[in-house]
Structure 1
Amino acid sequence: MLELLPAPPVDPLWDLAAEFAADPRPERLNLVLGVYRDHTGVTPVMAAVREAEIRLAERSASKEYRGLSGNIAFNRAMLSMVLGTEALTARATAVQTVAGTGALRLLADLVSRTRPGTTVWISDPAYVNHRPILEGAGLRVRTYGRLDSTGLPDTAAVLDDLSAARRDDVVLLQGCCHNPTGVDPSFAMWEELAALAAANGWVPFVDLAYHGLGDGLAADLRATRMLAERLPEVLIAVSCSKNFGLYSDRTGCAMVVGSSGKALTHVETALQNAARTLYSMPPEHGAAVVATVLEDERLRTEWLAELDVMRHRITANRADLVAHLRALGQDEQATSLARQKGMFSMLPLTPDRMGVLRERFGIYGTTTGRINIAGVSAHRIPYLAQGIAAVLETPHAMSSV
C-alpha cells in the first residue's frame, strides 16, 4: 500500500521554517510563522494566562471527558466576548474546537453537510490554509478581489467579484488584520459587504485570528458584530492562539449566528457530529484557561492590558520599519507598509526577490512577500530594512533556488 502513496505537496510555511532552522547564520531572521515575540525574541506566556494556569493546577479538577462541545464555560465566554450583546448571543451557538484551524474545518464541514458542493469565496491573496481546508471539506472555492498597482487590495474588485456570489454561496472574510496583506476594508466597505450579502443572499464566514492586535479588541470585532446584527446567518471561526498566546494549546471556537434561537435547533448537534468524526472532542486546558481569564474581572482587565502592550509593540515595529525604509530612499514601499496593521506585512517583492532576501541576508518570509512584523526584535529592524532596500535596488534580482 505505502509504495502507491504519491509524493504529497510540502507545506510551504513549515518547509521554510525547517530551512531557517538549518541556516547556520547568526544574523538570520525567522519572519515566516505568525507568532508574536517580545523584544528579547521570546514568545511569552501572558501573566493573566499564567495565573489562570496556576489556579487550575491548584484546583486539580478531574480530567474526565468534557463532551463533544468542549468546555461550556469557554463557549459561553467566547460568545459574549465576540458578539458583545445578549441580543446577539441569544441568536448564536458555539462549540470549542482544535484552534482556529479546527473551527474553520468544522464550519466548512457544516456547510458541506448542509449543502454539498457549496461554493465558498476566498480573498486573493488569502491565508495559505484557507483553500486546502475548504476543499478538504468537499467545497468548491472561488476567489474575489486582487491587489492594485500599489500592492493593496482593490476595493472595487472585491465588490465587483462578490456581486457574482449567488444565494446560499458562502464568502470567507477575515474579520481584522488580513493575512497576508495586513490591510482591512474600511468600515464603510464592511457595510457595503453586509448590504450585498443581504441583497444577494450569500452567507458571511468570518475568520477571527488576530482580534486585539490591530486597532484594539472592540474595534477589531466591530465589523463581525455589525454583520451579525444585520444578517440572518453568519459563521465565525475564532482562534485564541495569538491574543491569548495559546499557540500549542490549540484553543478555538466555532460559532454560528442564526435568525433566531429556534433556527439553531440542530446546529450544535451537527457541529458535534462533525467534531466526532474529526477529533471527537477538543483539548481542555487552553479552553479552561481562557474561561478563567474572561470570567474573572481582574484577570480579564490584566489580559486586555497585556494585549494592548503586544498591539502597541507591533505598531511600533511597523512604524520603525517604515521610518528606516524612508531613510533608505524607499518612500513608495514605506507608504504602502504604513497602511497595513496586525501581525503581518506584505512586502512588494516577487518570489524571486524573496529568495534573494533569504539567500543574501537570511531574512525568511513567505514566497508571496508576507513577513511577520510581530516576530522582529526592535534592534533588528534596521537590518531588516537594509535587506529589503538592497533587494529592491537590485535590478531583476533572481534567486538561485
Structure 2
Amino acid sequence: MNQPLVSPSTRRKFLHQSVATVGALSAPSVFARDTIRIGYVSPRTGPFAPFAEADEYILQGVRKALANGLRIGGKTYAVEIVARDDQSREDRASNLAGELINKHGVDLMLSQGALTVVGVSQQCELAGVPSVSTMTPWQAWMFPLKSDPGKGFKHAFHFFWGIEDIGNVYTDIWSDLRTNKKVGMVWSNDVPGNAFGDPKLGLPAQFAAAGYSTVEVGRFPVGADDFSTHIQAFKRDGVEIVTGLFNPPEWATFVRQSAQMGFKPKVATVAKALLFPGGVAALGASAEGMSTEIWWTPRYPFTSSLTQQTAAQLAEGYTSATRRDWTQPIGVVHALFETGIAALRASGDPKNPEKVSEALRTLKLQTVIGQLDFANSGIKNVSKMRVVGGQWSVGQGGKPEIFITHNKTAPEIPVQRAFNLLKG
C-alpha cells in the first residue's frame, strides 16, 4: 500500500486545529471536539442490498440509544452517525470512505458488505482512522489488503466467520448422515466464490481431510442461467451432497434444472442463496430440507450490549416496524455498532485514533450475536463470530422457517430440531 504524505496523527491534529480557528464561527463544525462522528458505509442499493435491508431500523435504534450522548473519560460527547450507500460498488465505497474521512472528519468508520469493506478499510488504514468491518469472510478482507494473520494492521479491524468455520459447519451437518460422501461443488467465479473453492486454502481441502470425495467441473460466471454441465457430472459420478456459493436466482435455476434432469441429491447445503427468507420462499416446496450456515437468528441466546435487547426482541422489533421477515444480517450489523461504541468507551479518549485502535485490538465483548474477541482469535485484527448449521422448512402457506440443527461449532447455541434428508 502507498503511505500517506503526512502521518495520520499530524493530519488529524491539523484538521482539529483548523476547525478550532475557523469552525467555531460556523454552525456546528463537522470536527467539533465535543462530538463523536461515526461513518457507516453499506450497500443499501444494488445487488448486495439484501445485506443492508435492515439498516434504517438498526440506525434508528442505535441513534435512540445514543440520544443522550456517550460518557467517556469524564466527558459527555454527542454522537453523530453519517451513513452512506455505496450502491454495491467497490469504487464508490472507497470514495465515500475518503469523503467521510476528509470532509466529515469521522472518528470511527464502520462498514459492511463483500464489495464494501476492502476499499473502506484501506482508506482508513492509510488515513489513520480506526475502522471495523463485517459481512465477508476474514480471508476475503485481509488478503486483498495485502496482510496475513500474523501481521494485521494498525487501524483496520474486522469480525466475521472464516471459510474454515463454514467447512466445520458443513461437515458437522453431514457427519451423521447416511450418504456416500461424494460432494458436488459449484462455486461462483468471483472473489468469495474463488476463496471458497480454492483447492488448498478453501473448502475442497477441508472436505477431503474429513473423508469426502469432491466433484467439480469449473466455476460459473455470476448471473449464470445454465448449470446443466455441473448437473450432468454430478449424476454421472453419483453425487449425493451438493454445496456451493450462489446468488438466490442462480440457485433457483440450479434447483429447477436438477428437477428437469432427474438429479436428486440427498443433501443440499449452500452458502449465500439460502440466507434470506425471500429467496427461499421463491423456491416453493422444493426448499424443504435445504441447509446452510446460520450467522444469527432470534433463537440465539444473546443480548445487545448497547440496547439490552435480546435477539428475539431485536427481530420482533424489526418485524413490527417494517412488516417484513427478520433476516440474518440484522444481528450482525447491530453487533457492528455494538463493537464500535464499546471501543470508543474503552478508549478513554474517543478523539484519539491511536487509543481507539488500541481499544479495538484488545476488545472482548458480549453482543447480540455472541462473544467477539479480537485479542484471542489467533488472527491479528480479527474476531471470529459464532456460526452454526441449520435447515429450512416450508410451513403452511409456503412460509419458510429455518431451524438450528447442528451446534458443534457453538455449543452455547441450542439445537431446535433434528436434521432430515431431502425427499427423493
Q: Same fold (TM over 0.5)?
A: no
Between Structure 1 and Structure 2, which shows a larger proportion of helix residues? 1
TM-score after normalising by structure 2: 0.27
Q: Which has the higher contact order (CA 8 A, sep 6+)?
A: 1
Which structure has the larger Rg over C-alpha atoms? Answer: 2
